[in-house]
Chains A and B, each alone.
Chain A
Amino acid sequence: MSLSSRFAGFRAPLVIAALLLSATSAHALPSYARQTEQECVSCHVGAIGPQLTPYGQKFKIGGYTDGKIADWGIPLSAHIIAGATHTNKDQDGPAAENFKSNDNVAIQEVSGFVGGKLSDHVGTFSQVTLSGIEQRVGWDNIDVRYARELKFGTTDAVLGVSLNNSPTVQDPFNTVGVWAYPYTSSDLGFGAPSNALLTGENALYGLGQNVLGLTGYAFIADSVYAELGGYRRLNGNTLSRLGAGRDSAVPLTGFTPYYRLAYTKDFNHQNLSLGLIGLNSSFKPEDGGGAKDKFKDIGLDASYQFLGTRKHIGTVNAAYIREKQTLDYTLAEGGADHRSQTLKSYNLNAAYYFMNTYGATVGLFGSKGNEDATLYADNRLARPNTTGTTVQLDWTPTGKESFTGPAWLNYRLALQYTAFSKYDGAKSDYDGTGRKASDNNTLFLYLWSAL
């Protein structure tokens, strides 16, 4: 969608799968609230959304095991996201199969979850999604954990392992990848591009829901978070059985290391975190005669939350990712002019919430890459550069003590606008047909409800 190349044919299924089953995922689970007897706002700034408070981060790091096991043994939840999408100018074709080129209304996704404590030390966030756009059911974000609290001398620590299917889905901070802002976006419009593998997919490959990873982590003295692990590919048969589609399989070779180091400090009224995150991956398509495409992603991130008395809440999240690409396979196949490429991307967002109910968020995003007339053949300036702003206003009356309605009812109504100042390398005529970046500006009105 955001980048084009002669490889678009084989990457399209990856991108579609990633868009439908990953980029729009943003979840808080009522089953967690039932398990911990806490309100949604204890874990999420402004609830329902995924921006975790320190309490929520610790709940995730603790393996989703705090609290009691569900009465019926399996902690179940569900949610639905439905919305209306308008773009500044009609898209060149249908926004998706069975949809119009503009002004679409859709039930974007219906998800079922097993979310919460399974035993004293095992918990999960496991999601199956029916995409209302693609009209198929498949596995979505999966994170199954084992965690234990230990004491080393006078120092408290949590040690755990996560079995998951997407790099960053297990991350407790909301700065990079799966859980970064915007937490939900339209599948039928244009959103901030995900340009690095670390954030899900790049111009050539996608990892989200196409791999299986095992990582081990330690959270020491409530301040140092360290995680190390890796990912392996899943074959087409397995992905087909999981509903992700046989074509989603990626030729990932061997073991793909993932690492994360962060320092966080909770001052109760406010908190901050600083971190480093990275992923090194290598792909060897069968028809390449042994040639590989390699990617080294490294990112820096930071976040700050002012929680105060929870009447006025302010948050800032920032991330910068640099992806070094060595494209031996793509070059050999005539898919790029240059073997070595670099892609840099950033996101910076600030949010204000009043009474954990009324929210306003502004997010800046951007990416910048090398000029390559073949890799970016459909871009008039042969560059992937895209910049823009996403603004969201939302109203979430549920999930707090002051809400007097039924405890099972959770919903958010939100209006989101994404404006592009540059798209695929240019402000105007970015694709040689006269289309402007601002033609892709997307207005998304959505309702998100969970039970």
Chain B
Amino acid sequence: MKPRLLTALSLLVVSLAASAAGDAGRGADSFDANCAECHSVAKTLKNKKGPTLFGIVGRPSASIAGFDYSPALKAAGFAWSQEKLDAYVTAPKKLVPEGKMKFDGIADASERADLLSFLAEQK
């Protein structure tokens, strides 16, 4: 019984960890549906209406040279940690009230986790 219980608990822990980390495959779909119209993750660092999201995790805000950021984002002065990205994707105007991004946000926490997992792989 004990080994089985341990195995079950291990699986549960792994499953919860995976859930928290999100599914990058589903995140790719979420990116295509929600973000790709205005953002690229191409390694060529292509800017569209929005700046490239290649290497976004850990990047200082408003740091892509030549991209026309809003004054609000320029003044924000934070780095795009997973937490900041999660907050921004939840409600962009809440984190950066005078920002330019016209997106209502993603309310579903698991979809955000999937998306962030996908973005974390873009490096």
Are B37 and A38 in contact (CB-based, < 8 A)? yes
B32 touches which one: A39, A68, A309 (CB < 8 A)?
A: A309
A55 to B34, CA, bound (A): 12
Q: Is the CB of A42 within 8 A of B38?
A: yes
B49 touches A310 (CB 8 A): no
A309 to chain B: which residues have CB within 8 Å?
29, 32-33
* CA A88 to CA B38, docked complex, whole Å: 45
Does the CB pair A401–B42 fall under 8 Å?
A: yes
- Is the beta-carbon distance between B48 and A37 smaller than 8 angstroms? yes
Residues of A within 8 A of B49 (CB): 36-38, 42, 67
Per the 8 Å Cβ criterion, residues 89-123 of B in contact with A are 104
List A contacts of B42 (CB < 8 A).
401
Residues of A within 8 A of B29 (CB): 309
| A307 contacts chain B at the CB level, 8 A cutoff | yes
Shortest Cβ distance from B102 into A: residue: A58
- Counting CB contacts under 8 A, is A308 at the interface? yes
Is B36 part of the contact surface with A, judged by Cβ < 8 Å? yes
A269→B49 CA distance, assembly (Å): 19
CB of B33 within 8 A of CB of A268, answer yes
Query: A42–B37 contact, CB under 8 A?
Result: yes
Interface string of A34-49 (1 = CB under 8 A from B): 0011110010000000
Verify B32–A310 contact, CB threshold 8 A: yes
Shortest Cβ distance from residue A314 to the other chain B in the assembled complex, whole angstroms = 14
Contacts of A268 in B (CB 8 A): 33-34, 104
* Nearest-Cβ distance from residue A380 to partner chain B, whole angstroms: 52
Within 8 A of A (CB), among B14-41: 29, 32-34, 36-38, 40
Let me know if B47 is at the binding interface, CB within 8 A: yes
Q: Give the CA-CA distance A68 to B49 in the complex, in Å.
A: 10
CB of B36 within 8 A of CB of A310, answer yes
Shortest distance from the beta carbon of A38 to any chain B beta carbon, whole Å: 5
Q: Which residues of B contact A269 (CB under 8 A)?
A: 33
> Which residues on the A side are within 8 Å of B38 (C-beta)?
38, 42
Q: Which residue of B lies closest to A156 (CB)?
A: B102
| A 288-325 to B, binary, CB cutoff 8 A, 1 in contact else 0 | 00000000000000000001111100000000000000
Contacts of A401 in B (CB 8 A): 36, 40, 42, 46
Closest to B67 in A: A37
Set of chain A residues within 8 Å of B68, measured between Cβ atoms: 68
Shortest Cβ distance from B106 into A: residue = A268
Task: Name the A residues within 8 Å of B47 (CB-CB).
Answer: 37
How many residues does chain A have at the interface if contact means C-beta atoms less than 8 Å apart?
A: 17
Chain A residues with CB under 8 A of B36: 310, 401
Query: Which of B33, B46, B104 touches A308 (beta carbons < 8 Å)?
Result: B33
Contacts of A39 in B (CB 8 A): 48
Q: How far is the CB of B115 from chain A (nearest CB, A)?
A: 12
Most buried by A among B42, B47, B49: B49
A218 to B37, CA, bound (A): 25
CA distance A55 to B46 in the complex (A): 20
Query: Are B32 and A311 within 8 A (Cβ)?
Result: yes
Distance of A395 from chain B, by nearest CB (Å): 21
In the complex, what distance in Å separates the CA atom of A421 from the CA atom of B38?
Answer: 44
CA distance A21 to B46 in the complex (A): 38
Q: Which residues of A contact B104 (CB under 8 A)?
A: 268
Q: How far is the CB of A421 from chain B (nearest CB, A)?
A: 39
How far is A39 from B38 in the complex, measured between Cα atoms in Å?
9
CB distance from A60 to the nearest CB of B (A): 15
Residues of B within 8 A of A307 (CB): 33
Binary A-proximity of B40-66 (CB < 8 A = 1, otherwise 0): 101000111100000000000000000
Within 8 A of B (CB), among A223-269: 268-269
CB distance from B69 to the nearest CB of A (A): 14
Whole-angstrom distance from the CB of A284 to the nearest CB of chain B? 47
Q: What B residues does A308 contact at CB under 8 A?
A: 33
Cα–Cα, bound, A37→B68 (Å): 12
Q: Which 10 A-B pairs have the closest CB atoms?
A: A309-B32, A42-B37, A309-B29, A309-B33, A38-B49, A269-B33, A37-B48, A37-B49, A310-B32, A36-B49
Q: List the interface of chain A (C-beta within 8 A of B).
A: 36-39, 42, 53, 55, 67-68, 268-269, 307-311, 401
**Using a CB–CB distance below 8 Å, which chain B residues touch chain A?**
29, 32-34, 36-38, 40, 42, 46-49, 68, 104
A-B contact pairs, 30 of them (CB 8 A): A36-B49, A37-B48, A37-B49, A38-B37, A38-B48, A39-B48, A42-B37, A42-B38, A42-B49, A53-B37, A55-B37, A67-B49, A68-B68, A268-B33, A268-B34, A268-B104, A269-B33, A307-B33, A308-B33, A309-B29, A309-B32, A309-B33, A310-B32, A310-B33, A310-B36, A311-B32, A401-B36, A401-B40, A401-B42, A401-B46
